[in-house]
Amino acid sequence: MDGPLPTHYEPQESVLKNPLYGQQCNPARLEWIRRDNPYHKAWGDPRYPFIATTYRVTEHHTAGGMSRWLPWLNELQPEMFVEVSPELAGLRGLENGGWATVSTIRGEIEARVLVTERLHPLVVQGQVLHQVGIPYHWSYVGRSTGDAANELTAFVADPNVSIEESKAFSVQVVAGRRASRRRAAAVGPLAEPEPGQEQGGEPSRDLPQVQAKKPAPHGERSGRQQQTEEA
């Protein structure tokens, strides 16, 4: 059988250990090692227990830089919002039409709450996983403004065309509006890494443990770069 063959890797920040393979994340992914781009624990970070996914809505285009200037489109989608299930709303005290703050270690945003049956809790290996839907279209200029989803995402990219991995990452959700304009929004202490997951004092993102990846000249590191050097 010829290859390479497709396999399953969890995103850079997940809420569960890879259920299919020992390798947690794509070993050839690109990471940007910068002080303003910290990552969560590879999985099960108690500070960020929910999984977020980003998407677009019909009424707006890309980041909304063109469509949010059009009054009739803003009437159809007037405000930044996050979608949550009734179960997650009950767990976090969220009210439909009220405010929620969504945070990662890199930043936090506030948005209106949309409680919807579209998002269901997932049960994986007996663990209940809650999803949060975040549209891409809002920012700080236009007739309709709101916090930007990209305030939450991390710089990590696929090894083929360097597209940012921003469709799945772990988050925290609390009721109410954002408390401050801070960019770093870490909540609580970082959990201890799993046994055997430390290398050079930093938690490893891969299972089984791999050698430390060497940083590239611009702070970028790549599993593929390491494989080439070893070859």
The whole-number pLDDT of residue 10 equals 93
Structural domain boundaries enclosing 172: 34-181
Q: What is the mean pLDDT of residues 109-120?
A: 94
Q: Residue 126: CB partners within 8 Å, gap ≥ 6?
A: none
- What contacts 164, CB < 8 A, 6 or more positions away? 153, 155, 156, 157
Residue 198: inside a domain: no
Residue 101 maps to which CATH number? Answer: 2.40.40.20
Number of domains the chain is built from: 1
Per the domain annotation, does 56 fall within a domain?
A: yes
Q: Tell me, what's the pLDDT at 190?
A: 55
pLDDT of residue 173: 97
* Residue 17 domain flag: no
At residue 197, does pLDDT exceed 50? no
pLDDT for residue 18: 92
Whether pLDDT at 104 is above 90: yes
Q: What is the DSSP letter of 164?
A: B
Q: What percent of the chain has pLDDT over 70?
A: 75
Selection from 59, 57, 80 nearest residue 71 by Cα? 59
Residue-wise pLDDT for 119-170, tens only, equals 899 999 899 999 999 998 888 888 888 899 989 999 998 888 888 888 999 9
Q: For residue 24, tell me if it sits in a domain.
A: no
| Residues 16, 204: Cα–Cα separation, whole Å | 15
Give the mean model confidence (pLDDT) for residues 209-213. Answer: 42
Residue 2 lies in a domain: no
The pLDDT score that the predictor gives to residue 221 is 55
Q: Where are the beta strands (DSSP E) in 1-151?
A: 30-32, 50-55, 81-84, 99-103, 108-115, 122-124, 127-129, 131-135
- Residue 188 counted as domain residue: no
**Domain-embedded: residue 169:** yes
pLDDT higher than threshold 50 for residue 227:
no
Q: Could you give the CA distance from residue 28 to residue 225 in angstroms, rounded to a whole number? A: 8
18: which residues sit within 8 A by CB, 6+ positions away?
8, 9, 10, 24, 43, 207
**Does residue 97 form part of some domain?**
yes
- Above 50 in pLDDT, residue 205? yes
Query: Which two tokens mark 121?
Result: 């809790």
Q: Convert the pLDDT of each residue in 7-31 to its tens digit.
A: 889 999 999 999 888 889 988 888 9
